[in-house]
Chain A
């Protein structure tokens, strides 16, 4: 028995049963610590393999020729080639997001109007590509879009074009591939949000004299916005750091932040430059995820109502 134990035993004998607070608090702390300790192996692996190197990159981005410096960041602001890379990354992410909304929202809307059974059957068609390795899907687009690929075959066979179109190893191919990969990330959260909207709202709007189109725009669409925004932000942020698909389908004609980081680190061993770009990408990504977290909790609040 610990010293405090003996003391409190004495105090209790003296008629003070509440004198055992310190030892009970110690028990409580010990139990909490044991439970928390169960997460330590996982925290250790992730801390060492994920956070430590990320922190290291952060550090490296401020080191030039052995001393503290903002040189890497200055270069990024000064050099037109870097600015262009940031701009095209931002641009292609925005374009993919917009296309994904235009393609995904109507589909999500339609699915939300179907019976639960029919919708979950059709959702399989969204999930199968979602579950398929993105490398495999990128490969599929390569095969479909190349000069002697399936699409060009068909277009020529139908007499729509005389010479094969350049569909891949350029901006177009990158856009098609990225949109395809990202589309499920938009459809799934949007669909989930649309499902929770009570159809009685639309009936109420109609009974109050709104045309179906007007009812949609004034009632349904605003209610679906949080889900749609969550999906759109997710797509946008995933595009910002996307590497595999643009690297394979862009054919070197599209240069994004992720690819420049890979070049700097993997080919030229320019850790400083790679780190500085990485830090900017990381800050942007985590910032958007933070905003997304706020939005999704908002979404949940609305869902509970």
Chain B
């Protein structure tokens, strides 16, 4: 049932949504390539779901244009947009069987009976639930419901697939399995997919590109690896992955943490407000003796060490009073080399791993 239509591009042009004086979305500019898997990532209340609702047509923007395949669909009613939507709570119709649910979009399109039967069977096969065709919805498990919702959203070969936190109601194991399945489904169908989540790990796992949204604004749009490595603002650095942020100040053209100048091999993104040194716990190395050139050195005492299974987390109080986290794997030889609680420690961060971000975008 691979989508025989060419996939389409999407563009948000200066999309704003106001509720009274509250700006839920503020001049969003975003272009999504045909066939791309793009994730809208942000904390709750950031506006990411609102943006998805505007794209689906369930609400309309206060101003701005949404284009799909180059044509303006801003004022088009949802039933003519030809988008598949999957909600967090699945929104399966409880008064219909699995087959009737999946066949719903085809019945709305007045497809002939045989075609409906065939395409429903194909879609159920695609999510490997062909054997549940005659079940009632309340007889399905959470993971099965999720797949049925997915089958219903793709059965009519929609132009775009929209998913609003589709996995957040599932437990961790199932969620991780579904992430991979959805990813595979996307590769098979090649359908342009917009995925909303507040889970940064999920966003990094699944997406071609991630759009970070906060306070109704698009903060950064990047591929997962470079988003992680090069956050554009303090918010992104804090929200994506694990990090400690240390305040740095510009002194005579270079940044310094306290009195200590910071060696840095990456450009500092433009922005406003204070600047912060982003320290990822797994990028720190243990130093003994003096730091070689191009390595930033931090000294302090070990406050506590927490064993977490595959890794451990050590918290270090620096001489400045700030706290820094260090993550190590738990192989015996690595653990043996670590100082114990209360002992002094010296940590290094290579200039290539050193990132400084502004408080906010310009």
Contacts and interface: CB of A to CB of B under 8 A. Distances in A.
Q: A contacts B directly in the complex (CB < 8 Å)?
A: yes
Nearest to A19: B63
B65 A17 contact: yes
Contact of B14 (A17, A23, A27, A28): A17
Contacts of B63: 18-21, 24
A199 interface: no
A27 B63 CA distance: 12
Interface string A20-35: 1101110110000000
Nearest to B18: A21
A21 B27 CA distance: 12
Given A12-B65, A17-B64, A24 B75 contact: yes
B15 to A, nearest CB: 8
Contacts of B61: 24
B62 A24 contact: yes
B60 A24 contact: yes
Interface residues of B, number: 12
Contacts of A20: 63-65, 74
A27 B64 contact: no
Nearest to B16: A18
Contacts of A19: 63
Interface of A: 12, 17-21, 23-25, 27-28
A28 B75 CA distance: 10
27 contacts: A12-B65, A17-B13, A17-B14, A17-B64, A17-B65, A18-B13, A18-B14, A18-B16, A18-B63, A18-B64, A18-B65, A19-B63, A20-B64, A20-B65, A20-B74, A21-B62, A21-B63, A23-B75, A24-B60, A24-B62, A24-B63, A24-B74, A24-B75, A25-B62, A27-B60, A27-B75, A28-B60
Contacts of B14: 17-18
Given A17-B14, A18-B14, A21-B62, 11 more contacts: A17-B13, A18-B16, A18-B63, A18-B64, A20-B63, A20-B74, A23-B75, A24-B60, A24-B63, A24-B74, A25-B62
Contacts of A25: 62
Contact of A18 (B27, B60, B75): B27
A131 B131 CA distance: 48
B239 to A, nearest CB: 28
Nearest to A23: B75
A18 B65 CA distance: 7
Interface string B1-40: 0000000000001101000000000010000000000000
A12 B65 CA distance: 9
Interface string B54-82: 00000011111100000000110000000
In order of increasing CB-CB distance, the 7 nearest A-B pairs are: A17-B13, A21-B63, A18-B63, A17-B65, A18-B14, A17-B14, A18-B64
Contacts of A17: 13-14, 64-65
B18 to A, nearest CB: 10
A10 to B, nearest CB: 14
Nearest to B72: A12
A20 B65 CA distance: 8
Nearest to A12: B65
A17 B60 CA distance: 14
Contacts of B74: 20, 24
Nearest to A24: B60
